[in-house]
Structure 1
Amino acid sequence: MQPTFHDLTNSADLPSALFERTEADLSFFIEKVKPIIEAVRVEGDSALKRFARDFDRVEVEDMSILAQEEEYDDAFARLDPAVVESIRYAAENIRAFHEAQKPEDIWYKEIRPGVFVGDRYTPLDSIACYVPRGKGSFPSMLLMAAIPAVVAGVLRPIVITPPGPDGKVDDATLVAARLVGIKEVYKCGGAQGIAAVAYGTQTVPKCLKVVGPGSPWVVAAKRQLSDIIDPGTPAGPSETVIIADETISGELAALDLIIESEHGPDSSAYLVTNSRRVAEEAIAALPKLWANIDPKRVEFSQAVLCGKHGGIVLTKDFDTACEFVNRYAPEHLQILAEEPMAVVPKIRNASELLLGNYTPSTLGNFVLGPNAVLPTGGAAMTKGPLSVFDYMKQASIAYVTRDGYQEVADHAHRIALYEGFSGHAQAVSPIRHEILKKAKKS
């Protein structure tokens, strides 16, 4: 199959079709998830078990929805120790990044004499981390979703994930959960899993918020339930843009373009370059690189790169390539350029910037530390990566001393009267001093 090639060197505008995502129209999924959500709301665990049988092809009569301690033990016993060590390595980096990111519990500063203002951060009471499984198993997503929750101090962080063909949670996911301190992993995914944490069931606790990427079914359920549970940052099918200047090897660009495209046929992946040589080298290299990877992943990658949501884009100049990035607002952006740091100021909209020849998405997805749960569907124009701030709430703090009071009171009194709030004005009038004098005498 030939990669899709968009030659825009003679085009005055960037075609709007290039900026469409597979998740753009969720109307089909919205209608389909409604009965699933209602069934979970009414039936609870019974619905979860039925949907596991119908959707996940798992016989569920004896299945415990909550993973048991012995399942964690068995997972450690079965998993290759080298894989355990790599999960531990990744967990250490991700934890270190998020601990550095965590704000002070409380801060304040004196902005005028006797006037102190600041913020206080406290963790959420409960959070559900969604770990997908439809096209594989993703312990890395558990690390990315759960570690910032633990670092933030969430009182009850849980994980929900679809059961595998054996009715169990993937071994590496259970290992990751134990390594980061998650004690509750529930075997429920898809729209039914989102409904379970939104309403609560006999087994699955109701949570305040759910985070993590998922299929269009998951995205649709989050939207449908957004007035019941905080759906977090939009995190749908994977998407990437690689921007390359004329100094880069097209074969290297092709090598990294495959990374996100192999997630699934609903992914999006573009190489955007102003160099015809880079574009042609990438197109020539892809078949050889596909020959080296798993046939199923080749199928996914080709569906993306040879379809209408991916491929090679040749622009008339590098500024137009940067314009493409800013309009697309990708989940992942890899900058392949002679001076990648010089390109950064040109980029306004991207959730993740991976700079240079030695920072492929593979590293960012698994082990570098910054969070790989990123907004998709263009949400990077207004939102950023999952962080400890997603698991905390902010409260403003203000404290005015007796000496600092009168100046701010006078200004507030004038504004209150101007806006017609006489009660506001009265509270900062001389009456306040009279009340305080009486209270002091008594």
Structure 2
Amino acid sequence: MTGICSFHEIATLTGEQRAALLRRSETDLSGFLARVQPIIEAVRSEGDEALARFGREFDKADITADRLKVTEAEFDAAFALVEPEVVEAIRYGIGNIRSFHEEQRPETMTLKEIRPGAYAGDRFLPIDSVALYVPRGKGAFPSVTMMTAVPAAVAGVPNIAIVTPPTADGSVDAATLVAARLAGVETVYKCGGAQAVAAVTFGTQTVKKAVKIVGPGSPFVVAAKRSLSHLIDTGTPAGPSEAIIFADDSIHGGLAALDVLIEAEHGPDSSAYIVTHSRRVAEEAMAALPAHWAAMTEQRVAFSKAVLGGPFGGIVLTPSLEESYRFVNDYAPEHLEVLSTEPFIHLGRLTNAAEILLGPHTPVTIANFVLGPNAVLPTSRWARTCGPLSVTDFVKRSSIGYVTSAAYPELAGNARRLARYEGFSSHENAVSEMRAPYLGAR
């Protein structure tokens, strides 16, 4: 089959060629790691002045050091700049996202009686502060604000700030400000890229230091997070967008083509595949792409053509359903659509994906904006070990223990024997007869 996007027939590929399909654009960050170092150092040493300079240089923005924080007037003006139906759509999405995430909020403290008189459990408290990274380079993303701000607010984080690149006139995307306020966030800083990660790591004259940063970003953002991960919690590893559209032979390939463009249009560094064992579906998908592109804007066509025609996208034809399952699980995508009239028959075989959307009525678009589950998801195969952003990303867990005087002797005796075996004399002494005189002392 020849066509207008990359076509990969698994049965004909070598092991090395198949492995190449699993790579993402951010897999090799070596070049970016070197490039972000002087940016990080400049922000650490110069603070606001460096942020403003990089805003002018990288974002081509009219920004100065005294305009890095969004004012209350700018928040108020944003509501007049955004069309009412868009404001209502944001409000609708935030309502669903909040409803979903409120179910994730843990009890403040739980205790279980492990032995008579001996209790153990967990206490959950919100973290002190968090920075939410909202990208801007390839578009405006109020949805990212919704997805990051709502669970942070539900968790009860007292200090929530958004960092996002400024626009050309030195402002912030109005819909992003609307989403921030409706989600309960009133602190927004006009900085993006590696410099924003550095700013919330070290703090500047304007930007407050945070203990954690979450949100998707470019390879520069990912590289800065990796460089500073020993100083700040960098959360879910979320890089450029990626998706697999898994299609069985019960659907029309044109639907798979329509949906593979959703994440492919994010930018040329995205990854997007249709995976199917049906040659008919693959051929229909290839044939449908020109008509779908004709209905898109020029910029998004360019982005998606670069993805689907490049090394990180296209159509993957497998010899069987089993091989389709295997490829999806090896790839461990950020977004996975299961296009089938009977999607649940496949669900048990699909084990590595951050988000699994079932059936022809659940495209990524709905999940990205309004369904409720979080759309900030692990990329670059991290879905093998971690999942979507959630309320639990914004809370810290402490183990709680309480032993009564009645339960103490049994626990102490067993702990003493283990301490002696491992050779820790102070551990042993602390639960020996040496403790007895102090237990009754005042």
Q: Which residue of 2 aligns with 1:125?
A: 128
Given that 2:49 and 2:65 are in contact with CA atoms closer than 8 Å, whether structure 1 keeps it comes out as no
Which amino acid in structure 1 is aligned with residue 285 of structure 2?
Answer: A
Report the Cα offset of residue 428 of structure 1: 1.6
Report the Cα offset of residue 108 of structure 1: 1.2
Given that 1:241 and 1:330 are in contact with CA atoms closer than 8 Å, whether structure 2 keeps it comes out as yes
Given that 1:10 and 1:316 are in contact with CA atoms closer than 8 Å, whether structure 2 keeps it comes out as no
Which amino acid in structure 2 is aligned with residue 169 of structure 1?
Answer: V
Given that 1:331 and 1:351 are in contact with CA atoms closer than 8 Å, whether structure 2 keeps it comes out as yes
Report the Cα offset of residue 431 of structure 1: 3.1
Q: Which residue of 2 aligns with 1:7?
A: 9
Moved more, 164-173 or 332-341: 332-341
Cα deviation, 1:171-204, whole Å, max 9, x if unaligned, reads 1001111111111100000111111111111000
Which amino acid in structure 2 is aligned with residue 298 of structure 1?
Answer: V
Report the Cα offset of residue 111 of structure 1: 2.0
Where in structure 2 are the equivalents of 1:345-364 lying within 5 Å? Answer: 345-364=348-367
Report the Cα offset of residue 227 of structure 1: 1.5
Given that 2:111 and 2:400 are in contact with CA atoms closer than 8 Å, whether structure 1 keeps it comes out as yes
Which amino acid in structure 1 is aligned with residue 48 of structure 2?
Answer: D
Distance 1:213 1:62, change over 3 A: closer
Report the Cα offset of residue 435 of structure 1: 2.9
Given that 1:245 and 1:336 are in contact with CA atoms closer than 8 Å, whether structure 2 keeps it comes out as yes
RMSD value, Cα? 1.4
Cα deviation, 1:197-236, whole Å, max 9, x if unaligned, reads 1111100011111110001111111111112211111111
Match of 2:203 among 200, 203, 221: 200
Given that 1:239 and 1:269 are in contact with CA atoms closer than 8 Å, whether structure 2 keeps it comes out as yes
Supply the distance in 2 between the matched residues of 1:400 and 1:422 (Cα, whole angstroms).
22
Cα deviation, 1:114-161, whole Å, max 9, x if unaligned, reads 121110011111100000000010000001111111111111000000
Q: Which residue of 1 aligns with 2:297?
A: 294
Gaps of 5+ in 2: none
Identical aligned residues as a percent: 58
Given that 1:63 and 1:167 are in contact with CA atoms closer than 8 Å, whether structure 2 keeps it comes out as no
1:304 paired to 2:307? yes
Supply the distance in 2 between the matched residues of 1:228 and 1:422 (Cα, whole angstroms).
35
Which amino acid in structure 1 is aligned with residue 6 of structure 2?
Answer: T
Supply the distance in 1 between the matched residues of 2:229 and 2:326 (Cα, whole angstroms).
32
Supply the distance in 1 between the matched residues of 2:232 and 2:14 (Cα, whole angstroms).
44
Give me the TM-score of the superposition, normalised by structure 2: 0.97
Match of 1:218 among 193, 217, 221: 221
Which amino acid in structure 2 is aligned with residue 5 of structure 1?
Answer: F
Report the Cα offset of residue 410 of structure 1: 1.8
Report the Cα offset of residue 341 of structure 1: 1.8
Secondary structure of 1:349's partner? coil
Aligned residues: 439
Secondary structure of 2:336's partner? strand
1:180 paired to 2:183? yes
Cα deviation, 1:71-127, whole Å, max 9, x if unaligned, reads 111110121000000000000111111111111111111122112111001111110
Gaps of 5+ in 1: none
1:423 paired to 2:417? no
Supply the distance in 1 between the matched residues of 2:278 and 2:11 (Cα, whole angstroms).
10
Supply the distance in 1 between the matched residues of 2:13 and 2:186 (Cα, whole angstroms).
55
Report the Cα offset of residue 30 of structure 1: 1.0
Q: Which residue of 1 aligns with 2:34?
A: 31
Moved more, 224-233 or 86-95: 224-233
Q: Which residue of 2 aligns with 1:162?
A: 165
Given that 2:341 and 2:360 are in contact with CA atoms closer than 8 Å, whether structure 1 keeps it comes out as no
Supply the distance in 2 between the matched residues of 1:271 and 1:23 (Cα, whole angstroms).
20
Where in structure 2 are the equivalents of 1:138-157 lying within 5 Å? Answer: 138-157=141-160
1:371 paired to 2:374? yes
Match of 2:278 among 272, 275, 285: 275
Report the Cα offset of residue 423 of structure 1: 1.6
1:333 paired to 2:336? yes
Supply the distance in 1 between the matched residues of 2:14 and 2:321 (Cα, whole angstroms).
14
Given that 1:144 and 1:373 are in contact with CA atoms closer than 8 Å, whether structure 2 keeps it comes out as yes
Secondary structure of 2:67's partner? coil
Report the Cα offset of residue 436 of structure 1: 2.0
1:436 paired to 2:439? yes
Supply the distance in 1 between the matched residues of 2:420 and 2:308 (Cα, whole angstroms).
63
Given that 1:49 and 1:60 are in contact with CA atoms closer than 8 Å, whether structure 2 keeps it comes out as yes
Match of 1:317 among 315, 320, 325: 320
Q: Which residue of 2 aligns with 1:381?
A: 384
Structure 1 residue ranges, 4+ long, deviating more than 4 angstroms after superposition: 10-14
